[in-house]
A and B are shown apart, each in its own frame.
Chain A
Amino acid sequence: MNNHLSEDQITEWALGTCDDFVLRHLETCRGCSLEAEELRRALSGFRDALQAVAQRDQSFWRNQQVTFRERASVRDWYPMHWAWLVAMVMVLITAIFLIRTPKTLRNYPSDAADNALLNEIQGDLSREVPQALAPAVLIAEERNAILMNSVGRQSQKVQNKK
């Protein structure tokens, strides 16, 4: 029968979660304590080696801090930048909407007025006499017609007498 600690028990010991039985056994069993000690040495050797590999001089850590500060300040500004961009786009869209929509509404009556004015001008241009003289022309035409009638009647009377 094997009286030594199991692999799990030695692992529990390495993790620091073993029970009193394991600790008592390690005090008395040379084989298991050697095994546990070797594991402990390997783990602490790894820890020391990694700590040594990760050692850097002061300038390295100072540079890290400086780089962090630079990048963090850029990133602080970065969301602000996007906020500004979004705000500008919104203003632009609103401006386009405001400029374009009322213009069509305002253009509607102004176009009609323009058309009316153009028609008026066209009428004026096609007129043979200025509008101010139109009544005088009308009177003159009526007068001419009356004269023509009276002349016609007189000439008819002359012919009848003959």
Chain B
Amino acid sequence: MVQNGQVAVMIPVREKVRSEMSSLDDFTPLVQLHQQRIYRVLLGMVRDPDSAQTLTQECFLRAYQKRASFRGEASVGVWLLKIAVNLARDHRRSRLREFWHRWFSSSEEVAALGQKVPDPHPSQEQVLLGREEVAGVWAAVKRLSPQQRAVFILRFVEEMSLEEIAEATSLKLGTVKAHLFRAVHAIREQRQGGRTRE
């Protein structure tokens, strides 16, 4: 009965959302609403602003083309993130791109991210410590597999629930948890390594 009720509720929602995405004019507000989040997740995953920008465009284009296949089981935001995560994964698979990316990256990127530490503390020492800490986390995140990185960013940057992450990454809940465990362990190891060096 409950399942039937869920289906009955889901169908009008799906139809409503589909009708909201039917034309380009209807779809554009969705781009406006979700583009910053999609860009942020892609930037975290591919670590290159130009690639993140291109992939954000591609994400919305794919979504627009496949809007008829939106089943309404998850929110539009999660559906878009799913497309974005798949695009970032495909992007990483290109070995040539990976080669050039490694070649030109990215002590600069890490440093740039370190510079972006918000500065609530007046003490210069604390700011520097914060920057180092962020750079350490960034370095650890960089070493994660694309899937682990996606899961980590969705959890700790986008603050999504584990269920939503499972939906967005097409993984099982247990796998999501395992990836998060590994990611947090890697970050703690990185921090402890940094501390022992100090």
Contact = CB atoms under 8 A, between A and B. Distances in A.
Interface of A: 7-8, 10-11, 14-15, 17, 38-39, 41-43, 45-54, 56, 61, 64-65, 67-69, 71-73, 75-76
Contact of A49 (B24, B39, B116, B155): B116
Nearest to A41: B133
Contacts of A76: 24
Contacts of B56: 64
A8 B181 contact: yes
Given A15-B177, A43-B156, A68-B31, 13 more contacts: A7-B185, A11-B180, A15-B162, A15-B180, A42-B187, A45-B134, A45-B137, A46-B137, A46-B138, A50-B113, A64-B53, A67-B57, A68-B57
B80 to A, nearest CB: 12
Interface string B49-71: 00011001100110011000000
B92 to A, nearest CB: 18
Contact of B57 (A51, A52, A64): A64
Main secondary structure of the interface of B (DSSP, over half): helix
Interface of B: 24, 27-28, 31-32, 35-36, 39-40, 43-44, 52-53, 56-57, 60-61, 64-65, 112-114, 116-118, 130, 133-134, 136-138, 141, 153, 155-157, 159, 162, 177, 180-181, 184-185, 187-188, 191
A67 B53 CA distance: 11
B66 to A, nearest CB: 11
B43 to A, nearest CB: 5
Contacts of A11: 180-181, 184-185, 188
A54 B134 contact: no
B187 A43 contact: yes
A75 B177 contact: no
Contacts of B153: 50
B53 A51 contact: no
Contact of A48 (B28, B64, B117, B162): B117
> Lowest 8 CB-CB distances: which A-B pairs, in order?
A54-B40, A52-B116, A46-B137, A11-B184, A49-B116, A49-B134, A45-B134, A47-B157
B125 to A, nearest CB: 15
B31 A64 contact: yes
Nearest to B52: A54
Given A42-B134, A42-B136, A45-B137, A50 B181 contact: no
B27 A38 contact: no
Given A7-B188, A50-B44, A72-B24, A43 B60 contact: no
B24 A73 contact: yes
B65 to A, nearest CB: 6
Contacts of A64: 31, 35, 39, 53, 56-57
Nearest to B120: A48
A18 to B, nearest CB: 12
Contacts of B136: 42
A67 B61 CA distance: 10
